[in-house]
A and B are shown apart, each in its own frame.
Chain A
Amino acid sequence: MLLTSRQALLVGPLFLFLLVAYILPFLGVVAWSVTLPDWGLGQYQRAVSDPLVVSVMWRTLRICVIVTLVSVFAAYVLAYIWVRGSAWQRLIVELCVLIPFWISVLTRAFGWLALLSNRGLVNTWLQSLGILSEPLTMVRNEFGVVLGMAHFLIPFAVFPLVSSMRNVDERVLMAARGFGASRLRIFWQVFVPMTRPGILGAALVVFVFSIGFFVTPALLGGGRSVMAAELIYLRIFQIPDWGLGAAISVLLMLCVGLILALFLRRAQFGQVR
């Protein structure tokens, strides 16, 4: 017995619930991927050779990398002020991070549409000022997707960065200052390297979240710059091509699992505090 009966009584219910409602159904999805429409690995072959699927996968990867870079950069600056700014600066940054964090992804995507769509605020202003004659297309394309996704993910990246910046030992910075290092040099050669675990953690969170992200790309991409998650949705609900949709899901799951495994391995060897 791995668990005694009393242990199983406490730990068991959630485990059973997830087993029935999550793990077994996921195996069912895996089964779909190798049986629909025919038995075999044909759908995986399609997923890596079909030009449409491959181009969607590359776009997904490209957008996720850009979103990760943008989000971690913005989050780093915000976290820096949150930890080291004056009381007022801290309060403002805290509010600007927490308020969007608690607001639904739909409201935030709607906000971007209200700002950037052809009849949105920015185009209305620019046209009434006479700067533009034709509306500038800023959503329903990749640009809009990157903005919306970064907006959603920045707060998630701020939290690991804040906690790693709080761990920086003040005395090390004072020592560097004592040896005559300039402010810029202290920042780049002492502070940034000491917060590397936070940077890696933030990048991991953003990348893993963005890779299977559905809502924001579907709304701000407007069906034109389709990403992996939307492709799966279309293959299940619009063109009945369940085998391919399931195969892409399994590939995404493997991809995230691999990234997490690599990260945890690194963490175990003590390179990430």
Chain B
Amino acid sequence: MKGLRPGPVALILAALAAVFLMMPLLAVIPVSFTPKRFLSLPQDEWSLRHYVALIENPIWLAGIWLSIRIGIVASLLSTALALFFCVGIWVFRPRLATLLLGVALMPMVAPPVVSALTLYFFLVTLGQYNDVIAFDTWLGVALSHAVMVAPFAVVLITVALAQVDRRIDMAAQSMGAGLGTRVFRVILPNIRFGIIAALFLTFVLSWEEIGVTLFITSVDAVTLPRLMWMGLRDNIDPAIAAISVVLIVIVVTTILLRTIIQGLRAR
């Protein structure tokens, strides 16, 4: 076995790749402490002004709050629809299951820009009949995000269902359980971790969605990623560095905690 451990060449190449992956994330940190208004390294003094701006500037808070609202609606809607869909496929195994799954996964495999244009068409057309779900409205963005993230919920819940032992369901059925009992008392409790994972992933994907959002918003529904985009496109605003550092810290803490908990459980 020892002879098949990775050799020095593989280790060096992997180290280079790992450095490549982490480098841009680390580069953000010093930039966020610059005292200047433009992208630069702090020379003599380090400043927290860009972090203060995040709290004091109502635009950032409004963007964060909007992204949270959209994320919650998109996550609940897409997970609920995906849950019904996957349970239906699992219980009934319809003949068209493959085709139905293919349709459900379409927004995930289609080129993002095509989905963006498609959803733009959807919201512009709807906007001719109402003002609530239309181009540049928060509900319009939430619905579009639900379309984009639903396939991920379908994948996670399908994987969770694949691990459920069908004999449990058959036992319930043979004891006279109706469809409602089977779904709510037998199937759902068995896939609860899959459902939680789907809720979490769909929220995160909606929270950071930008490709579609750029096509379906302009000045009213400005989500956090849309704000960051504007700050990156025009002139590079160091406030983006500050918000990036905050986001990176959240992600790194979550992943480290998860790794540590897993490590403790494994013992």
| A and B together in one complex | yes
Q: Are A103 and B255 in contact (CB under 8 A)?
A: no
* Distance, CA A154 to CA B16, complexed state (A): 13
* Bound-state Cα–Cα, A215 to B40, Å: 23
The 8 Å CB contact of B259, one of A95, A119, A151, A177, is A95
Which residues in window 98-145 of A have CB below 8 A to B?
98-100, 102-115, 117, 119-121, 124
Q: In the complex, are the beta carbons of A154 and B17 less than 8 A apart?
A: yes
With an 8 A cutoff between CB atoms, is A198 at the interface?
no
B89-125 Cβ-contact flags toward A at 8 Å (1 or 0):
1011011100010011011011111111111111001
Provide the bound-state CA to CA distance between A107 and B241, in Å: 8
Q: How long is the Cα–Cα vector from A32 to B89 in the complex, in angstroms? A: 34
Distance (whole angstroms) from the CB of B233 to the closest CB of chain A: 7
Query: Contact at B103–A81, with CB atoms within 8 Å?
Result: no
Tell me the residues in window 64-100 of chain A with beta carbons closer than 8 Å to chain B beta carbons. Answer: 74-75, 77-78, 80-81, 84-86, 89, 91-100
Give the residues in chain A near B118, CB-CB below 8 Å.
22, 25-26, 28-29, 249
CA distance A67 to B198 in the complex (A): 30
Do B94 and A106 touch (CB < 8 A)? no
Asked if B14 and A25 make an inter-chain contact with CB atoms under 8 angstroms apart, the answer reads no
In angstroms, how far is the closest chain A Cβ from the Cβ of B209? Answer: 9
On whether the beta carbons of A229 and B244 are closer than 8 Å, the reply is no
A260 CB contacts on chain B under 8 angstroms: 109
Contact between A111 and B244, CB atoms less than 8 A apart: yes
A13 within 8 A of B: yes
Once the chains bind, are B107 and A18 in contact (CB under 8 Å)? yes
Q: Distance in Å from the Cβ of B125 to the closest Cβ of chain A?
A: 7
Determine if B109 and A208 form an interchain contact, defined as CB atoms under 8 angstroms apart: yes
In-complex Cβ contact of A232 among B92, B117, B204, B255 (8 A): B117
Question: Is the C-beta of B144 less than 8 angstroms from some C-beta in chain A?
Answer: yes
Smallest beta-carbon distance A214→chain B, Å: 5
Tell whether, in the assembled complex, residue A96 and residue B7 are in contact, meaning their CB atoms are under 8 Å apart. no
User: Cα distance A212–B116 when bound, in Å?
Assistant: 10
Nearest CB in chain B to that of A237: its residue: B215
Q: How far is the CB of A91 from chain B (nearest CB, A)?
A: 7
User: Which residue of B120, B147, B225 is within 8 Å of A104 (Cβ)?
Assistant: B225
Q: Quick check: B24 and A115 within 8 Å, CB to CB?
A: yes
Stretch from B50-58, B77-85, B165-173, B189-197 contacting the other chain: B77-85
Contact check, A99 vs B252: say whether CB atoms are below 8 A apart: yes
Bound-state Cα–Cα, A114 to B29, Å: 10
- Please count the residue pairs between chain A and chain B whose beta carbons lie under 8 angstroms apart in the complex: 277
Q: Is the CB of B225 within 8 A of A186?
A: no
Residue of A nearest to B89 (CB): A11
Contact A10–B233 (Cβ < 8 Å): no
The verdict on A41 contacting chain B, using a C-beta distance below 8 Å, is no
Contact between B215 and A233, CB atoms less than 8 A apart: yes
Contact status A25-B23, CB under 8 Å: no
Band of interface residues on B: 35 or more
Contact yes or no, A21 B119, CB < 8 A = yes
Q: Is the CB of A84 within 8 A of B5?
A: yes
Partner of B241, one of A13, A99, A114: A114
Given A21-B144, A114-B39, A249 contacting B113 (CB threshold 8 A): yes
- Judged by a CB distance under 8 angstroms, whether A162 is at the interface is no
Q: Which chain A residue has the least Cβ–Cβ distance from B204?
A: A102
Which residue of B38, B106, B241 contacts A110 across the interface (Cβ within 8 Å)? B241
Whether A179 sits at the interface, judged by CB under 8 Å, is no
Is the Cβ of A18 less than 8 Å from the Cβ of B39? Answer: no
Residues in A13-27 with C-beta less than 8 Å from chain B: 13-15, 17-18, 21-26
B156 vs chain A, min Cβ distance (A): 14
Q: Is A159 an interface residue (CB 8 A)?
A: no
B84 CB contact (under 8 Å) in A10, A208, A219? A10
User: B141 on the interface (CB 8 Å rule)?
Assistant: no
The answer, yes or no, to whether A239 is at the interface (CB within 8 Å) is no
State the CA gap A115–B87 with chains docked (Å): 47
B25 touches A100 (CB 8 A): yes
**How far in angstroms is the closest Cβ of chain A from B75?**
15
B236 within 8 Å of A (CB atoms) = yes
The answer to whether B251 and A103 touch across the interface, beta carbons within 8 angstroms, is yes
| 21 A–B contacts from the bound complex (CB under 8 Å) | A2-B96, A3-B92, A10-B87, A14-B82, A18-B107, A21-B122, A74-B20, A77-B14, A77-B17, A96-B18, A100-B21, A100-B25, A104-B225, A111-B28, A119-B38, A120-B39, A154-B17, A208-B109, A213-B112, A229-B112, A252-B113
Given A29-B117, A96-B22, 7 more pairs with CB closer than 8 A = A10-B84, A14-B82, A14-B84, A96-B21, A102-B251, A215-B229, A245-B117
